[in-house]
Chain A
Amino acid sequence: MALTDQDRALIDEDVVAYLQRHEEKSLLRFITCGSVDDGKSTLIGRLLYDAQMLYEDQIAGLDADSKKHGTQGQNIDFALLVDGLAAEREQGITIDVAYRFFSTERRKFIVADTPGHEQYTRNMATGASTADLAILLVDARAGLMPQTKRHSFICSLLGIRNVVLAVNKMDLVDYSEDRFQEIERDYREFSKNLGFGEILCVPLSALAGDNVTERSKNTPYYDGPALLEHLETVSTEVDTQAPFRLPVQWVNRPNLDFRGFSGTIASGSVRPGDPIIAVPSGRRSTVARVVTMDGDLEEGIKRQAVTLTLTDEIDVSRGDMICGKDSPAEQSDQFQAKMIWMADDEMLPGRQYVFKTANRTLPGVVSALKNKIDVNTLEERPGKTLALNEIGEVNLNLSAPIAFDPYRENRQTGSFVVIDKQTNATVGAGMIDYSLRRAANVHWQALEVGKAERAAIKHQKPAVLWFTGLSGSGKSTIANLVEKRLHDMGRHTLILDGDNVRHGLNKDLGFTDADRVENIRRVAETAKLMLDAGLLVMTSFISPFRDERQMARDLMGEGEFIEVHVDTPLEVAESRDVKGLYAKARSGQLKNFTGIDSEYQTPRNAELTINTVDMTAEEAAEKIVGYLDENGYLTG
């Protein structure tokens, strides 16, 4: 490893002294933001090179690479040091988040390097989420660009308070003081509402090395620190007076005599004897020990991974947050939050997603997209969905209350990621602003007469028969026949039909994916009310998406949801074309038509599948009524 001469001398003379000195280093994580042309990779390469964190074979490799792929002629192209995947190297751009490491006498650094082209909000948010500080690069010739503002906004959104504006390529504007001060002034004016703590503006040249590791003679008007000097001295101290938070990650039970709660301290500090409260369970106790393999700690502080034991045997589990008794975290199941969308499939309000917080994974929905935030202008705009790289302000509705803090107060306990239920991909990330209500204060109205009582006097067990299938598959025809038979048998029924509902309850909705999701959500909720009334409900909707059918299923109780897949091949449904809709869709007059230019996701676990090619509508109705009878829905 290439090291400074002093390091070499010390290592040579007394390696133990060297190791002991370096053991005491602190760690700073930072992110660099800028567009491809701002010289970001060059700056990181320069830091790595000047901090002498390269091996000689890497330098030799760099030399060879510079001549092969480089853009600096025969000189070393520092940018090549930090470019990674083979395909990207050939394109000359970086397309993901890469993490680099270097260290100096005082500190170890982890650099998150994210690309600077248009489609990159997702990557930058990822890199910023773990960064203590952000370096924003601007080209001195160009000044503040739209992307500078975009980067600043994302940094602010992700809660970074420490910002360095690196005015790069000063060598190309003759190190002009006026130019530098103009950019600094503009930036301070622009960023004053972004909630940054400290902002340092540095005039530098990554290529020439001015003010990177050492103060430059070319900028006599600048009396601040060189970039590296600043990075080495920014505070990384933990505020031990902040409210104590330990999200319980894992319950540690090696034997009957030991019950510990393991997790990483998210803020504050903890000592034996501290009174605590577990949120949301609300149980109270006192800390007995702060256990680690190296012995019990007198005090555990933020970022330490510890195991707490308590003086009482209270029931605390993963998902609980152990908090200082006097300043517990809030709990709620409804939030306002900022959300960044990270997937090609857009975010649909009303669709069920999985939300993962610091230590809890649970289903929920975005109940409303209040507005979208334009990352270039910071303007708020109305919108129905969030597309890849879009940011929105949303209302969230989780399936159970969780412990949390507003993100601006605690980045660990106020954050969550959004997971797609079908693909399991991470599709979004969010930051909680505040609770929309105190969930604990809202109780369900306890009712004397329930679903069971209402159904009993009708001699039936209520259920929702959810008919799904292509347009023209025969859903409504079959549902009508089923209802007629049940009615003849003296049963109490109701049909919710796609066309009819769209004339009333859902007449404000169109046929985009977002509207289809909302359409089904309302139908499912209505069906649930009818179910509570004790009825046998039949719904007849194309309901093309698995997610929404699952949502409807989850809404009803066990055994109350019967999915009936009316399985008619597209050619057959299209040849029937009772309403003339397929012809219109084929000719392009009708957009988003299921089976033509919008997907139908075949059910995987339908209780009943009706093949209308082999079976007449009457036979199908017979089969369904037979199913109800055999499974005890028709009593007495």
Chain B
Amino acid sequence: MSDRSLTHLDRLEAESIHIFREVAAEVDKPVFLYSVGKDSSVMLHLARKAFYPSVPPFPFMHVDTTWKFQEMVRFRDETAKKLGLDLIVHINEEGRSQGVGPFTHGSAYHTDVMKTQALKQALDKHGFQAAFGGARRDEEKSRAKERIFSFRAPGHRWDPKNQRPELWNIYNTRIHKGETIRVFPLSNWTELDIWQYIFRENIEIPGLYFAAERPVVNMDGTLIMVDDDRMPLEGMNVETKSVRFRTLGCYPLTGAVESKAATLPEIIQETLLATSSERQGRVIDSDQAASMEKKKQEGYF
């Protein structure tokens, strides 16, 4: 056998591993932004592969908006314990003491305070210089041009004009004090690659992705799960339906889909046959065409 070819998943995997190792070798204080979703689960798996038999040589940080599904928090803590990860959970305490939440303050304000501002706070507090995130180029048109290493000026501002060319697999990781880098090891993965890889590698993902009988209310056409008693139910009709989630986030902002898919192949089957793209389920995207672009400039992922 003198000629061999790698599969597309093998090549994507190798590229991601290379990126993890490069950051670990060159950056003093990197952090893995762990969001508990399926992309984060794939990224975690790749980080473990990159450093095996060592554990990944950086902490894992979850920005907890205090409105995440309870099951996400459980899954997060179990995963960290099982794998021996150094887990940091950051909450914007100022926001929490003011009682900021999507029901009382609206989704935009809540997301800004408890997620975007909280992330900046956490990065500043720990002095992290590079943060791994799970964004992919196929998620949205404007992301097709995002670099794998995305540079943020002091204050975490993203300047589209001031990004560095990336040639071969050589990444320039040099920054000045106060500047930070967001690193996206999954840049070249598509949604199908992610599912295919979860299937091939048998990667654990939270149970919320699988259909189960859950209590939901219909809010303006979106099925929202009643995850705790902070949900105002006045005038609402709580029904029990077999549903699952295609993305995970704050439970009041994450729409469920009716489904019977209870196994990984069934989910993948349903995803592949679905007729609308993944991000449509996220409430923040529907604002306007270039909304991601704006959010990114403000420091949102």
- The listed residue (A86, A250, A258) touching B53 by CB distance below 8 A is A258
Interface size on B, residues (CB 8 A): 72
* Cβ B18 vs Cβ A130 within 8 A: no
Cβ contacts A43-76/B at 8 Å (1 or 0 each): 0000000000001111000000000000000000
* Cβ B168 vs Cβ A237 within 8 A: no
Residues in A with CB closer than 8 Å to B142 are: 84-86
What's the count of A-B pairs with C-beta under 8 Å? 213
CB nearest to A237 among chain B residues: B3
The reply on B276 being an interface residue by CB < 8 A is yes
The reply on A616 being an interface residue by CB < 8 A is no
* Cβ A252 vs Cβ B54 within 8 A: yes
- The listed residue (A130, A240, A291) touching B3 by CB distance below 8 A is A240
A410 and B118 alpha carbons, distance in the complex (Å): 45
Shortest distance from the beta carbon of B286 to any chain A beta carbon, whole Å: 11
Residues of B186-208 whose CB lies within 8 A of A: 187-188, 190-193, 196, 199-200
The reply on B4 being an interface residue by CB < 8 A is yes
The reply on B236 being an interface residue by CB < 8 A is no
The reply on B301 being an interface residue by CB < 8 A is no
Residues of A218-246 whose CB lies within 8 A of B: 236-241
- The listed residue (B6, B137, B167, B268) touching A101 by CB distance below 8 A is B137
Given A3-B272, A98-B144, A292-B52, CB of A86 within 8 Å of CB of B170? no
A279 and B72 alpha carbons, distance in the complex (Å): 48
A84 and B289 alpha carbons, distance in the complex (Å): 11
The reply on B13 being an interface residue by CB < 8 A is yes
The reply on A281 being an interface residue by CB < 8 A is no
The reply on B280 being an interface residue by CB < 8 A is yes
The reply on A546 being an interface residue by CB < 8 A is no
Residues in A with CB closer than 8 Å to B7 are: 23-27
* Cβ A303 vs Cβ B172 within 8 A: no
A419 and B174 alpha carbons, distance in the complex (Å): 9
Given A3-B272, A11-B269, A238-B4, CB of A86 within 8 Å of CB of B289? yes
A25 and B61 alpha carbons, distance in the complex (Å): 34
- The listed residue (B11, B21, B200, B273) touching A250 by CB distance below 8 A is B21
The reply on A123 being an interface residue by CB < 8 A is yes
* Cβ B17 vs Cβ A305 within 8 A: yes
* Cβ B170 vs Cβ A415 within 8 A: yes
Cβ contacts B1-24/A at 8 Å (1 or 0 each): 111111111111110011001101
* Cβ A301 vs Cβ B6 within 8 A: yes
Residues in B with CB closer than 8 Å to A292 are: 49, 52
- The listed residue (A19, A241, A252, A426) touching B199 by CB distance below 8 A is A19
A131 and B138 alpha carbons, distance in the complex (Å): 18
CB nearest to B57 among chain A residues: A250
Shortest distance from the beta carbon of A594 to any chain B beta carbon, whole Å: 25
Cβ contacts A400-417/B at 8 Å (1 or 0 each): 000000000001100111
The reply on A110 being an interface residue by CB < 8 A is yes
The reply on A97 being an interface residue by CB < 8 A is yes
CB nearest to B49 among chain A residues: A293
* Cβ A101 vs Cβ B8 within 8 A: no
Given A19-B265, A240-B2, CB of A98 within 8 Å of CB of B172? no
Cβ contacts A503-531/B at 8 Å (1 or 0 each): 00000000000000000000000000000
The reply on B108 being an interface residue by CB < 8 A is no
The reply on B86 being an interface residue by CB < 8 A is no
* Cβ A412 vs Cβ B25 within 8 A: no
Residues in B with CB closer than 8 Å to A107 are: 8
A63 and B69 alpha carbons, distance in the complex (Å): 36
Residues of B78-104 whose CB lies within 8 A of A: none
The reply on A615 being an interface residue by CB < 8 A is no
Residues in A with CB closer than 8 Å to B274 are: 1
A412 and B293 alpha carbons, distance in the complex (Å): 33
The reply on B176 being an interface residue by CB < 8 A is yes
Q: Which of B32-40, B121-129, B158-166, B212-220 contacts the other chain? A: B158-166
The reply on B239 being an interface residue by CB < 8 A is no
A411 and B4 alpha carbons, distance in the complex (Å): 19
Given A99-B137, A249-B21, A258-B53, CB of A429 within 8 Å of CB of B165? yes
* Cβ A305 vs Cβ B18 within 8 A: yes
Residues of B176-190 whose CB lies within 8 A of A: 176, 187-188, 190
Of the candidates B160, B165, B280, the one having the most CB atoms from chain A within 10 angstroms of its own CB is: B165
Given A85-B160, A252-B53, CB of A12 within 8 Å of CB of B18? no
Residues in A with CB closer than 8 Å to B174 are: 354, 361, 419, 424
CB nearest to A425 among chain B residues: B164
Shortest distance from the beta carbon of A420 to any chain B beta carbon, whole Å: 9
- The listed residue (B6, B26, B168, B172) touching A415 by CB distance below 8 A is B168
CB nearest to A262 among chain B residues: B21
* Cβ A26 vs Cβ B8 within 8 A: yes
The reply on B109 being an interface residue by CB < 8 A is no
Q: What are 13 A-B interface contacts by the 8 Å CB criterion? A: A11-B269, A15-B265, A15-B268, A16-B265, A19-B199, A55-B276, A57-B276, A84-B144, A84-B145, A101-B190, A239-B3, A252-B53, A293-B48
Q: A99-B188, A101-B138 are in contact. List 13 more A-B contacts (CB 8 A).
A: A1-B277, A15-B265, A25-B8, A57-B280, A58-B277, A103-B190, A108-B8, A237-B3, A269-B4, A304-B10, A305-B14, A305-B21, A357-B170
Interface residues of B (CB under 8 A from A): 1-14, 17-18, 21-22, 24-26, 48-55, 137-138, 141-142, 144-145, 160, 162, 164-170, 172, 174-176, 187-188, 190-193, 196, 199-200, 265-266, 268-269, 271-277, 280, 289-290, 293
Closest 3 CB pairs of A and B: A86-B290, A55-B277, A27-B8
